């Protein structure tokens, strides 16, 4: 059973489509990927652990003309403010990954709001910009956490291609995983501070660029208005007056 439920967001979000399970419970989804015929993908990183490869990642991304989105934990930003500034100054998008890497499905709406707000404040203090995009730690969410984030005016971003780089995979295995699943509109997940990620990223970007792909930040990939999200998390434009 599909229920179309329209609602207006205070930040000017267009109506979105919600998909209901057979039992009638509405399930909200973040944006996993984007339906597009343009050969563009979003390279994203979660920054929650180390900062050992920040400079190297910036150099690799620059070689391939890639703008990436870094979802940064507030505690990481507080520990490594110079890295946040370096990423921002290199032209990459800085986004919210919670303040303490909490499990959002176990939090109340007020707690979700606090996690997002505190992280945004730390990032804005460094970059001068308040993020409008959030990724929940470990991809953990429920309806309440999505509602809370969207009511704050944020777009909730997941991923459609998981490199699993944090599991200690070899660069070749990471490359195989990513290239096998990447297509137009994919959102690809990597992590900072992981040993084999830079080497894998180099070969992945080289291969995808050879296929004609361009690399944009999430802000440039998703539709801001007039969209629906299907049952797989794919964002689909419902009119042609945006992006």
Active-site amino acid positions: 46, 191
Nearest to 44 by CA among 57, 55, 53, 56: 57
Q: What is the gyration radius of the CA atoms in the chain, in angstroms?
A: 17
Cα separations in angstroms, 187 against 9, 76, 142? 24, 22, 20
The whole-angstrom separation of Cα 87 and Cα 239 is 34
Q: What's phi and psi for 129, nearest 5 deg?
A: -120, 140
Cα separations in angstroms, 156 against 123, 169, 236? 17, 27, 15
Nearest to 105 by CA among 74, 163, 72, 149: 149
Residues whose CB is less than 8 angstroms from the CB of residue 207 and which lie 6 or more positions away in sequence, other chains included: 175, 179
Distance of alpha carbon 60 from its chain centroid, rounded? Answer: 19
Q: Are 56 and 201 in contact (CB under 8 A)?
A: no
Other CB atoms within 10 A of residue 167 CB:
12
């Amino acid at each position: 059973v599909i229920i179309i439920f329209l609602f207006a967001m205070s930040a000017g979000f267009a109506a979105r489509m919600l998909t209901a399970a057979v039992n009638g419970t509405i399930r909200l989804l973040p944006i996993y990927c984007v339906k597009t015929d343009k050969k563009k993908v979003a390279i994203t990183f979660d920054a929650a652990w180390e900062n050992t490869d920040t400079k190297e990642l910036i150099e690799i991304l620059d070689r391939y003309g890639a703008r990436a989105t870094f979802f940064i934990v507030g505690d990481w930003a507080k520990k490594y403010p110079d890295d946040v500034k370096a990423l921002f100054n290199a032209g990459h998008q800085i986004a919210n990954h919670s303040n303490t890497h909490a499990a959002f499905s176990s939090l109340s709406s007020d707690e979700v709001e606090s996690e997002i707000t505190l992280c945004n404040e730390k990032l804005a203090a460094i970059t001068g910009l308040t993020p409008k995009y959030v990724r929940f730690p470990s991809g953990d969410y429920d309806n309440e956490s999505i509602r809370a984030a969207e009511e704050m005016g944020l777009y909730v971003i997941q991923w459609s291609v998981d490199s699993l780089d944090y599991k200690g995979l070899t660069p070749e295995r990471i490359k195989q995983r990513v290239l096998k699943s990447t297509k137009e509109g994919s959102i690809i997940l990597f992590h900072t501070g992981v040993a084999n990620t830079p080497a894998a990223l180099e070969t992945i970007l080289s291969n995808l660029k050879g296929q004609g792909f361009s690399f944009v930040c999430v802000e440039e990939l998703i539709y801001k208005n007039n969209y629906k999200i299907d049952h797989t998390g794919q964002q689909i434009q419902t009119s042609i007056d945006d992006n």
